[in-house]
Structure 1
Amino acid sequence: MYKLEGLAKDVFFDRYTLKDANGKRLEDTPEQMWHRVAKAIASQEKTEVKQQEWETKFYSVLENFNFIPGGRILTGAGSGVPLTLYNCFVIPSPQDNRSGILDSVKLMVEIMSRGGGVGVNLSSIRPRGSYVKGVNGTASGAVSFGALYSFATGLIIQGGSRRGALMLMLDCDHPDIMEFITVKRTMGQITNANLSVCISDSFMEAVKQDKDWDLQWGGKVYKTIKAKELWDAVCDSAWASGEPGLMFKERYNKESNSWYFEDLIATNPCGEQGLPAWGVCNLGAINVSNFVNEDGTFDYGRLGKVARICVRFLDNVVDTTDYFFPENEAAQRRIRRTGLGTMGLADALIKMKVRYGSPESLEIVEKMHQTIRDEAYIASSENAAEKGPFPAFEKDKFLQGKFIQRLPKAIQDMIARNGLRNGVLLTQAPTGTTSILAGASSGIEPVFDFAFQRKDRLGVHTVYHALFKAWKDAHPNETEIPDYFVNAKQLTPEEHVTMQGMIQTYVDSSISKTVNAPHEHTKEQVRDLYMKAYDLGCKGVTYFRDGSRSEAVLTSLSDVKKDETKAAAVAKTPTASEVISPRLRPEKVAGITYKIKTGYGTMFVTVNHDEKGQPFEVFATIGKAGGVFAEESEAICRLVSLALRARLPINTVIEQIKGIRGPMPIFGKNGMILSIPDAIAQVLMQHVQDLESKQTAAQKAQEQATAVAVMQAETEKMAEDTMTATVKKAESKYKLIEASSSVANTGFSPECPECSSIMAMAEGCLTCFGCGYSKCS
């Protein structure tokens, strides 16, 4: 009997065991789940003999988690409940009118309420400022309606049993593209969606040749800019916030096996599956870690045999699942799309004692994925000979496909004879929770960290990666760890993207992977990295610079100890001269009053400033509501004023109160207003922007010089206070890896909403390594 322990056991019981109508568990072991799933998927075979044959084969690959289907398949197959077995969907771009957009949002909510993630391309919506004849006014633009999709997704997060996952996309020639690229720099406008820009080959050529680029919609050119200006904005925003990602959409369509009958308009929330309108994801992963032999060699032969069975399994899913929308069924049955990928890659390389990202690892990984590609296409062609090719198969056109042209000649000839059962076969999807269930590293990602902290009702525990713990237990006195224990943050961004580009050669769809970068990575390096991803043949790229978004920051315990040293220094008993005292309020101060709508009524916020024009205090009055809302606004303003009079930077104050969500968020002229504190933060941001626009160049230079001087002094003091900790950290560079911990003191909590552990960016999505929660699943 397969033994589950720790988090894997918790995940199994919580998410994947069969339960009755009252939530009582009906399965206690993985073997019961494997039998249920194998029987359900094999039921689509035509005869009882075939059903028994394939049930046995399906069980053989499911056993010991050699093959792990998508989570929806594990949960729903054979449950007796009409559930979709698909994890993700792309919906049509909305019609450019109010009813069309609202119908699109409604469709998204319906899909999310059934557990699916959704991708949508908003390029069909006219740009901001366009004339709208029906109302004799102007359009608010694609980005403002993107906020509506985001808000609706937030409601699913609050009210559903499964959190909604959303990908919003916009074409690179849409007139609103600059607003789209930078929207996440303003907290509260789009908070519940991943963002990606759809990039064309012509745009990339324009960037390389420093040409002009037209921003157009509906046949009208709204503005012409330099392509490099847009490219720099994309890269700078990714550097600052980790978004937007890129989908090389034109390349995706040109390279797709479905080039002659489908238009791929967007991807699913994690970016690995480019889909047409009404397209779906049909996912499963082979755990390549299980194919490493005791002597450290890899069993490519067994991998090929398992891949063939997995292709039949996923093809049968197309006929097993329930379809809630006939359009999904029509789109999927036309192509019979599957998404076979891998998990456990990092673990496999560790077992083979090969460093992830090294030239040797690239050779091994290439042979793995070439094996899976070839055997998958052979199996699909054999299945086509038995069951018939996918309905949209046209031999002459299909064989012209760019990916098909790279297949071995023998496989191309086989497809010419038999056809192909599935139009698209391979996808490298994220495997967050299912990889935890299988006890394997996630997808093709390197191990994020070899130790992390997990929180539960008994407290905080250090949990080690299984292979690292085994090595540590076997080498208790060793102070240097082998180089094959390399984590995501130790790899260079170039090593990340090189691995992705190499694997993309053997994947007919795309890949979900995060390119991790150190905090000191520069904007210019991001531009080079994104161009490298394009030149390597990637179909998309997701980038994350350590520390660029406080909600996903992870640090090692050595960093936490350094922080604790600094905190201890700060926490020492201050002398009388060190005590921060707020400035006294003079008899008269000048200020400006702003009017802003909130979900609780109209609020008037007055920002008074000192003799230097800097914000000094804040007052707020909220309509006639009175009661708790007046008390709340007064309490916030008193504390904000105290901080400002104590000379705390206003941006620090804003960071503490912006983005706080209340029960009644509404749309304002600049996006979502989430709560009373968020409204006050938005007013303060507007006030700062107004002040900055009035500053002279000399004033700005003086202010910057002052800030640099203060920062330099604080840095020197910090270095003095923490020198001992710094030296110790340097000395322990090659010592045992320590656990990760949260840095929730950055102004926005990075805690997991389910278990309060830290979260990290992996496979293009925020993921909790403590409980398996993923923002995209």
Structure 2
Amino acid sequence: MPSGTSAALASAYQVIRRNGAVTPFDASKIAVALTKAFLAVEGSSAAASRRVHDIVADLTGQIVAGLTRRADAGRTFHIEDVQDQVELALMRGEHHKVARAYVLYREDRARERAAASSAVASAAAPTLAMSLPDGTRVPLDLARLEAVVGEAVSGLADVSADTILGETRRNLYDGIGEDELALAPILAARTLIESEPNYAKVSARLLLDKLRCEALSFLVRRSEQATQAEMAVRYAEYFRAYVARGIVEQLIDPELGHFDLERIAAALLPERDLQFDYLGLQTLYDRYFLHARGHRFELPQAFFMRVAMGLALREVDREARAIEFYQLLSSFDFMASTPTLFNAGTLRPQLSSCFLTTVPDDLDGIFKSVKDNALLAKYSGGLGNDWTRVRGLGAHIKGTNGESQGVVPFLKVANDTAIAVNQGGKRKGAVCAYLETWHVDIEKFLDLRKNTGDDRRRTHDMNTANWVPDLFMERVEANGTWTLFSPDETPDLHDLYGTAFKAAYEAYEARAGRGEMQVSRQVRAVDLWRRMLTMLFETGHPWITFKDPCNIRSPQRHVGVVHSSNLCTEITLNTSDEEVAVCNLGSVNLAAHVTAERFDGERLARTVRIAMRMLDNVVDINFYTIPEARRSNLKHRPVGLGIMGFQDALQTLRIAYASEAAVRFADESMETVSFHAISASCDLAAERGRYPSFEGSLWSKGVLPIDSIEDLAQRRGGLDLDRSTTMDWESLRARVTSIGMRNSNTMAIAPTATISNICGVSQSIEPAYQNLFVKSNMSGDFTVVNAALVHDLKARGLWDELMVSDLKYYDGSVGSIDRIPDDLKVLYATAFEIEPSWLIEAAARRQKWIDQAQSLNLYVANPSGRKLDETYRLAWRRGLKTTYYLRSRSATHVEKSTLKGTDGKLNAVSAPVAAAPEAGFGPACSINDPECEACQ
């Protein structure tokens, strides 16, 4: 390591010695220790010395990088943490003999220190002081530390305050700062999560104490503190001060100050602060809570109430509605989408999640679309752009009498715009480009995410998706030919689907056969299909989405065409030059609506009714950055109610994901959501009026989503899908026809990448990724353990350190652990142990109830061309509208070290700029990639 780097680190970081002393961090000491270890094992010949020098330099760099990435707020390491990293680096580098010698050396030294310690055990413990921000030193209040830790473990099984306190004391030193002291027990508790999931709640409660101190110090006076018990009494007083300060700081809409704050504050439920897991609260802390000049001053219940008040601004009895909305949000029964959580109740309430645009084929229109992307992304929207109308490479340009460079150069501009507009630093701008399969640039489009080739024709930060007509899939099935066109010569294809598209397309093919088309090319359909799947596997893009079912089943096909989906492939709304489609999202926590005995349909009905009202309110309250978005949203009023926690619900009900019972549950649960969502929109129409474009819609004709599936089946000549029902759809159909609908669209299942973390449940409709893994997102790295599995293993006497080690070794999978009974292996099978056909079958049964679509990830453990072909053809045959990421295993696995503290970034407060890929996936398909969180 260069001496300058070492010197810089020495001035920036410190090491806590075992006696509590603090010294500057010196990376050269690591290099010296490593060199001695290697030479002791391998000898000191000249050749060995040169080899050792190179190895040591590399290992030292790895160790320093690992330590500094994981450094806490005070930029300090304990000496044991440094030695843990040295041991880990040696093992990772497969220097096993040296590692063994190093481990034995550490054990010998530990015994020596223990012996010396016992000789002076009677000596008085040193008195430690804490440094305040102004430099004042005060005695360190160990009694309060013990009280806070004791409060954090209260009511939780199998957690120990003594264990946390012991590890915390190891990291204390004389002169420790306030922030470091608050952080020390959090770091101590989170290292224990892998062995006991309840420590995730303990860690959250300890972080909550830090947040309380930060908020109260900002609002009341410096160094103000309060325990959870004290805060239960002070929450109402705090809330009034919070609203007033937020208005002064121009972070909260002054209209919130005109609510009856006494009534609102009295409704707060401080005990709900205790229901968070660490990942959920840390995510809120880093990215959602309001802050001024670097200080968070928004506590969790104030956060939920701020969002609720923001959504109730235009209600008649807005206090009553705000309390109703708050109770739903804070219970985790339902969670609004990320833009709503970010911005509700603020001066710029951009609450919508998704925006869909279509890009015209002229220079002014193209660059207006790029500008619109920037404006829409600024306040947290995710974007889906339809680029099909832009003429292809080699097409004639009348104005200059030249030839077009095609769509790719403009996509590059859109890609760079998404990077530049990063939503206020909360997350990167996120956009997905769609192109129809007949576009002459389709093969260039498939290559956009490749890491090789001309970088000027690559879009490394933009998502891409194929917009696939049924006719193309029919040609693939028949092993037929497929003709590519430039849209300036075939402009009507863009707006056609079904039989009309087929007729027009075949007419253009005939013209091309006669030589009447300037730009066209013929390929084998199956060759293009194979290339689409190959690129999907190699780069993760473009995704496969289907044009015809999106349009045939669209309730709004009387007023326009669906030209694309959105960033996360669950939104299917009309777009045009005059209208930018907007969707407002939120998700029901399905796990909160089941018990071990049953699915609670009554509770779900209440949740859906309130949630639909909240989502409808978004349309009127929303801050629109471009007029085309406002025009579209007020005319059609679409919302997208989805679900999350599907896997948790299955496990509570003791249903394996890969089973007919799971497919039936997907069917029945989505039927219940659909019935009540449509009913709630109908009730809102009776109260507030129909949406303006209702007349002529499928709704107005009594065609509900369960009915429109029949239209798709008829046009395809059949559809192999169970279409049975269990609820009183006939009476609901009659109500919709006579009363109308408040919303043109009501349902869409989004990825819920972030809000499911907040609620502590599994994402969306996803199967469990692993039962023990490290989750990476913009808030850092977090150990995640399947608490339900741990509960079951404890009940059978199987949860111990060896089981933790086995789960790490087998990458979170239970299938290869002999001690685990077969029934648990089936119930807790992970995503790559489940055949993707089960995901498709469950999704197909949901899709019949949904008027939009669902973000459906597909997991293939051992991908092959044949497997991918079978999987995606099955998705099309079952009538799915869209698919999302293809997930496949890579060579990266869960860290198999048994060292404590290897749970990722140790900084529990400051989020990094970007996140590492999720363990277990290649770079093209990481789960919870922060750029994919624009929907939720």
Normalising to structure 2: TM-score of the pair? 0.58
Residues 515 and 459 of structure 1, relative CA distance in 2, 3 Å threshold: closer
Supply the AA of the counterpart residue of 1:311: M
Q: 1:69 to 1:397 in 2, by over 3 A?
A: closer
Counterparts of 1:132 and 1:143, CA distance in 2: 16
Report the 3-state secondary structure (helix = DSSP H, G, I; strand = E; otherwise coil) of the residue aligned with 1:340.
strand
Residue deviations 1:687-714 (CA, integer Å, cap 9, x gap) = xxxxxxxxxxxxxxxxxxxxxxxxxxxx
Rate the CA distance shift 1:510–1:241 in 2: closer, same or farther, 3 A.
same
Q: Is the 8 A contact 1:451 1:740 kept in 2?
A: no
CA contact (8 A) 2:918 2:926 kept: no
Q: Which amino acid counterpart does residue 359 of structure 1 have in structure 2? A: E
Secondary structure in 1 aligned to 2:331? Answer: helix
Q: Would you say 1:15 and 2:287 are equivalent positions? A: yes
Structure 1 residues 497 and 761: alpha-carbon distance in aligned structure 2, compared to 1, 3 A threshold: farther
- 1:111–1:170 CA distance, 2 compared to 1 (3 A): same
In 2, are the aligned partners of 1:184 and 1:190 still within 8 Å (CA)?
A: yes
Given the superposition, is the C-alpha separation of residues 357 and 351 from structure 1 closer, same or farther in structure 2, using an over 3 Å criterion? same
> 1:182 aligned to 2:453?
no
What is the aligned counterpart of 2:600 among 278, 293, 299?
Answer: 299
Q: In the TM superposition, what is the alpha-carbon distance from 1:191 to its structure 2 partner?
A: 0.4
Matches within 5 A, 1:27-176: 27-29=298-300, 31-45=301-315, 47-48=316-317, 51-79=318-346, 81-93=347-359, 95-157=360-422, 160-176=425-441
How big is the shift at 1:238?
1.9
Which one of the candidate residues 514, 527, 531 is aligned to 1:229?
A: 527
Partner of 1:198: 467
Task: Select the residue among 295, 300, 322 that pairs with 1:24.
Answer: 295
Match of 1:568 in 2: none
Shift in Å, 1:270: 1.0
Name whichever of 404-413 and 8-17 sits farther off: 404-413
Q: Which blocks of at least 5 consecutive residues in structure 1 are unaligned?
A: 562-738, 743-750
Letter in 2 for 1:544: L
Distance 1:458 1:381 in 2: 40
2:757 equivalent among 436, 441, 451: 436
CA contact (8 A) 1:235 1:527 kept: yes
Are 2:820 and 1:480 equivalent residues in the alignment? Answer: yes
Q: In percent, how many aligned pairs have the same letter?
A: 27
Matches within 5 A, 1:510-549: 510-518=853-861, 520-547=862-889
| Equivalent position SS for 2:432 | strand
Cα distance in 2, alignment partners of residues 291 and 155 from structure 1: 41
Larger Rg: 2
| Offset at residue 370 of structure 1 (A) | 0.3
User: Distance between the aligned counterparts of 1:460 and 1:25, measured in 2?
Assistant: 21
Q: What is the number of residues matched between the two proteins?
A: 576
Distance 1:525 1:171 in 2: 24
Residue correspondence of structure 1 range 187-586 to structure 2 within 5 A: 187=452, 188=455, 189-216=458-485, 217=487, 218-219=489-490, 220=517, 222-277=520-575, 278-293=580-595, 295-394=596-695, 398-400=699-701, 401=703, 403=705, 405=707, 408-453=729-774, 462-477=783-798, 479-480=819-820, 482=824, 483-518=826-861, 520-547=862-889, 554-557=892-895
1:290 counterpart letter in structure 2:
A
Using the alignment, how far apart are the partners of 1:397 and 1:461 within structure 2? 46
Checking the alignment, whether the CA contact within 8 Å between 2:279 and 2:782 is kept in structure 1 is no
Check 1:114–1:318 CA distance in 2 against 1; reply closer, same or farther (3 A cut). same
Asked whether the equivalents of residues 449 and 740 of structure 1 are also in contact (C-alpha less than 8 Å), the reply is no
Q: Flag the structure with higher helix content.
A: 2
For 1:599-619, what per-residue CA distance to the aligned partner results, in whole angstroms no more than 9, with x for missing partners? xxxxxxxxxxxxxxxxxxxxx
Please tell me the residue identity of whatever aligns with 1:211. G
Which AA in structure 2 matches 1:106? K
In structure 2, C-alpha distance between the alignment counterparts of 1:460 and 1:309, rounded to whole Å = 34
Partner deviation per Cα, 1:129-153 (whole Å, 9 max, x = no partner) = 2233433432111123212211222
d(CA) in 2 for partners of 1:35, 1:396 = 36
Amino acid at match of 1:68: M
Which deviates more, 298-307 or 336-345?
298-307
Q: In structure 1, how many angstroms separate the alpha carbons of the residues matched to 2:313 and 2:685?
A: 18
Deviation of residue 765 (structure 1)? Answer: 6.8
Tell me if structure 1 keeps the 8 A contact 2:534–2:865: yes
Could you tell me how far apart the structure 2 residues matched to 1:547 and 1:91 are?
A: 34
Contact 2:780 / 2:904 at 8 angstroms: preserved in 1?
no
After superposition, the Cα gap between the structure-2 partners of 1:14 and 1:467, relative to the gap in structure 1 and judged at 3 Å, is: same
Distance 1:300 1:456, change over 3 A: closer
Whether the aligned pair in 1 keeps the contact of 2:586 and 2:615 (CA below 8 Å) is yes
> What is the one-letter code of the residue matched to 1:19?
H
Instruction: Tell me if structure 2 keeps the 8 A contact 1:354–1:360.
Output: yes
| Cα shift at 1:492 | 1.1
Indicate how the Cα distance of structure 1 residues 279 and 765 shifts in structure 2: closer, same or farther if over 3 A, else same.
farther
Tell me: CA distance 1:404–1:417, structure 2 relative to 1, closer, same or farther (3 Å). farther
Relative to total residues, which structure has the larger strand share, 1 or 2? 1
Flag the 1:767–1:124 CA change in 2: closer, same or farther, 3 A.
Answer: same
User: How much has 1:459 moved relative to structure 2?
Assistant: 11
Contact 1:272 1:510 in 2 (8 A): yes
| Per-residue Cα deviation, 1:27-64 (whole angstroms, up to 9, x for no partner) | 212x222222222222222x33xx34433432332232
**1:491-518 Cα deviation digits (max 9, x unpaired):** 1121222222221111110011210101
How high is the TM-score relative to the length of structure 1?
0.69
2:522 & 2:931 partners in 1: Cα distance?
Answer: 43
Kindly indicate whether the alpha-carbon contact (under 8 Å) linking 1:452 and 1:741 is maintained by their aligned counterparts in 2.
no
Q: Are the equivalent residues in 2 in contact too, given 1:453–1:462 (CA < 8 A)?
A: yes
CA distance in 2 between partners of 1:539 and 1:203 (Å): 15
1:227 to partner: Cα distance = 2.2
